[in-house]
Structure 1
Amino acid sequence: MIVIEKEKTTKAVYSAYKDSGVDWLGEVPAHWEVVKMKYLFKDYSEKGKPEAELLSVTQSQGVVPRSWVATRMVMPSGNLESFKFIAKGDFAISLRSFEGGLEYCHHDGIISPAYTVLRARRKIEDGYYKYLFKSPTFISELQTSVVGIREGKNISYPQLSYSFMPIPPLPEQRRIADYLDQKCAQIDLAIAQKERMIALLEERQQIVIQRAVSQGLDSGVEMKDSGVAWLGEIPESWEVLKIRDLMQLKSDKGHPDYEVLSVYREYGVIPKSSRDDNHNATSLDTSTYKAVKPGDFVINKMKAWQGSMGVSNYKGIVSPAYITCEVDTSKIYSRYLHNLLRCKKYISEYNRISYGVRIGQWDIRFEDFKQLPLLLPPMEEQIFISNIIDEVVSKTARAVLDQRKGIKALREYREVLIDEVVRGRMCLGE
């Protein structure tokens, strides 16, 4: 485990400070310069290098080759003559810089002409400005140079160029950059360890759930062949039915006053308003949305291959593109059904029976879905299995929450540390 030592309360400070005359900087070490940005960086626009490597401007990685970016990017078509050349050590003002600061360029190449390239007018330690330009206080200063509204917001360099920037002596810039490289690497490693722990906790939970719903919790029970290759052996007392035997398609519309629900791979069916990461727009007319009551089963048919389905605990309405089903709860316990049809064995089958040209547009038909086998333990065992799973899920959720709190604290510490060091609130040696 990586242990991050936070700077002691009695941190070292500089021997003398002066008023920078700038709100976002406040007092700075007395020997630092403070100048307008236009005297430190110029708007650099060199074009006509279509053969250069195409780069992406990202908030998380800076300006990097497109091959480094995990998410798929739309490749530009046509002539690249108008694309701007950017060199390692330059900075880019991206279309989202008002949120995440300026981006450091790690590699020579070309970027969209929509971006502004900044190149230093004098010798600097680019590592120092890499941290300064991503610091929370500097990002706040960027808001004074925002032009446009909503999705059209952008940073105007002609305005930003009049903002004041600190210039520590060059050796000090290098010392600050080296120090932050070391500290941030330690913090990032600690965060990565916590993220791995979360992945392990969630993986272990899935293993427990899958075993419980497909084989039961009694390892000493007599087993039999389920007759389905991908399900394998099941307890002797369990039945194998078809989904169609216990689930019927329904389509009850005309309830625009009901709460809008959404289906998540991670959470199942929940109120759309309970999450702020669902960017799918709700129709102004929800009279065509399908009504759902507690105990109904809902499938996001475009994302069934990811496991986006589940039993609803809520009364509400869902997109007309979803599949809604009524369940025979006299024979199958809702919580058991919810966990069974969301386990990995079933998700693999959804992948097999889904169709479409591209993965992101795969679809599943209820006619195919309802033919899948359905494992049916005795009702008492279904309830027992579901109660144990609820305990496992609750315990895992608490452990994951602890890890996420630790990650949040580390990220906050990283931001505060960067902010203090780049603005001279902490002395690393004069």
Structure 2
Amino acid sequence: MGKYQGYDKYKDSGVEWLGAIPNHWEVIPIKFSLSMPITDGPHETPDLLDDGIPFISAEAIKNDQINFDKKRGYISLEEHKRFSKKYKPKYGDVYMVKSGATTGNVARVQTHEEFNIWSPLAALRPNQEKTTTDFLFYVIKSKPFFYSVEQSWSFGTQQNIGMGIIANIRITFPPLEEQEKIARFLDYKTKQIDELIAKKETLIEKLDEKRTSLITHAVTKGLDVNVPMKDSGIEWLGDIPKHWEVKRLRYTGFCQNGISKGADYFGFGYPFVNYTDVYANPELPKIVNGLANSTDEDRINYSVQTGDIFFTRTSETIEEIGITSTCLQSIDNATFSGFLIRVRPFANLIFPGFSKYYFRCQLHRFFFVKEMNLVTRASLSQELLKKLPVLLPPLQEQQKIAEYLDYKTKQIEEQKTKIKQAIDLLKEYRTALITNAVTGKIDVRKIPIPKI
């Protein structure tokens, strides 16, 4: 690792993915460094309350920490006591996600407050006479350990690794004093790296804010700063160029809900635009992954053509309703989901490139949040959607706005790409540093470490 030196003498670890280790280190199954067998939370779904004992699961284990803001909810004191008979969280425990998309994520328990965990989390309690919480945490964060986890994944409905498998994964085991020094070194160095990453992530957030502001201004105020303005008559739109029109969406195009069928209708046949295609993309992908066994009549009634605007129609939250994607190129023989509403603009009224920015604009959230009725799920009706105000610059001006935004947003995306690449390199360096320290490829014993 560049400026860092290795140990004087090494030996074969006997484990292919660990390679050589310092002569005085051992390799042991992780279970022999723990004070109790690896366990997990209850395999039942508790009654979640608005108050009580925090109850966390896999989604709370992120960025090497337990984020209690991401808790599932609260459980009663009685359930907490019952669950705690199997496992009660303790300061210094280490959690590893053992099932789901985030399998392998790790965090340390750094609170004395009462809480409890669910079954996707494996709890490891280090034997403090043999190992430290911090060293164990970094071992589990290392590349060889994650490789071992990856090799042992089983796949059912989701990826999963058994606690017995975790217990028998072999880890490097230096003397206790050396473990403490390695952990202090890694705390210091990873803090520096994380601060650099945080600064770069802040830059990305600022670029996203700049992009949002740029789009909102262009699609509601135009590009000419000297153009005469008028009151739009809509509070959240404010003043707009005097020569622009405001029409309710019902007067700009036809609305159509998508196909709602049973499961046997999907998975084969012709292209099918689903909720995710729209939610994740301001511009509808030219090739979609979904398939539906649509009829000739379906493909006429629920077609996907250039200029069509698709709105997300139903979700758990208002924030995910009314998100749009514009079709810039017809998808032959395609149909679309019942979780979507298609708006097909009248001819020569809305330029598709303008639609891509206008209808995705965050300003419309004011309308949807104010007007939406939330029952058990948020749902956008055609009648409500038809009331959405639509700003209509002359068609030629729409095209100029679209070209301007394409150019400016491309510049912003290029800046973001460079920053993301720098973040990825920092993360790779962080992982490599952890791996090299806990496997003995570098000797940190004599490196001075300031107090942090």
Root-mean-square deviation (Å)? 3.3
Equivalences for residues 66-77 of structure 1 within 5 A: 68-73=67-72, 75-76=74-75
Between stretches 339-348 and 398-407, larger displacement belongs to: 339-348
> Which amino acid is 2:314 matched to?
M
| Contact map agreement 1:101 1:135 (CA 8 A) in 2 | no
1:323 and 1:184 map into 2 onto residues whose CA distance is 47
Deviation at 1:395, TM superposition (A): 1.0
User: Of 393, 416, 422, which residue of structure 1 is paired with 2:438?
Assistant: 422
| Contact map agreement 1:20 1:28 (CA 8 A) in 2 | yes
TM-score, normalised with respect to structure 1: 0.84
Q: Which residue of 2 aligns with 1:325?
A: 343
Q: Which residue of 1 aligns with 2:203?
A: 197
Q: Which residue of 2 aligns with 1:104?
A: 108
1:11 aligns with 2:4: yes
1:35 and 1:73 map into 2 onto residues whose CA distance is 35
Distance 1:142 1:378, change over 3 A: closer
Deviation at 1:33, TM superposition (A): 2.4
Between stretches 406-415 and 135-144, larger displacement belongs to: 135-144
1:311 aligns with 2:326: yes
Structure 2: which 5+ residue stretches go unaligned?
43-51, 260-264, 447-452
Q: Alpha-carbon deviations, 1:338-376, whole Å to 9, x = none?
A: 322222222211222221125xx2222221221233222
1:43 aligns with 2:37: yes
Between stretches 253-262 and 228-237, larger displacement belongs to: 253-262
Deviation at 1:285, TM superposition (A): 4.4
2:230 and 2:41 map into 1 onto residues whose CA distance is 71
2:288 and 2:179 map into 1 onto residues whose CA distance is 45
1:268 aligns with 2:293: no
Give the match's secondary structure for 1:412: helix
2:109 and 2:378 map into 1 onto residues whose CA distance is 37
Deviation at 1:28, TM superposition (A): 0.6
Deviation at 1:300, TM superposition (A): 0.8
Equivalences for residues 9-408 of structure 1 within 5 A: 11-41=4-34, 42-43=36-37, 54=55, 56=57, 58-60=60-62, 64=66, 68-73=67-72, 75-76=74-75, 79-80=79-80, 81-83=82-84, 84-96=87-99, 99-100=103-104, 103-108=107-112, 109=114, 110-112=116-118, 116-121=122-127, 122-143=129-150, 146=153, 148-151=154-157, 154-250=160-256, 257-262=269-274, 263-265=277-279, 267-271=281-285, 285-286=293-294, 290-302=302-314, 305-306=319-320, 307-314=322-329, 315=331, 316-357=334-375, 361-408=377-424
TM-score, normalised with respect to structure 2: 0.80
Aligned residues: 410
2:24 and 2:422 map into 1 onto residues whose CA distance is 37
Between stretches 319-328 and 332-341, larger displacement belongs to: 332-341
Give the match's secondary structure for 1:323: strand
> Which amino acid is 2:136 matched to?
Y
| Contact map agreement 1:128 1:177 (CA 8 A) in 2 | yes
| Contact map agreement 1:56 1:69 (CA 8 A) in 2 | no
Distance 1:106 1:353, change over 3 A: same
Taking every aligned residue pair, what percent have the same amino acid on both sides? 26
2:258 and 2:92 map into 1 onto residues whose CA distance is 60
Q: Which residue of 2 aligns with 1:279?
A: none
Give the match's secondary structure for 2:375: coil
| Contact map agreement 1:310 1:338 (CA 8 A) in 2 | yes
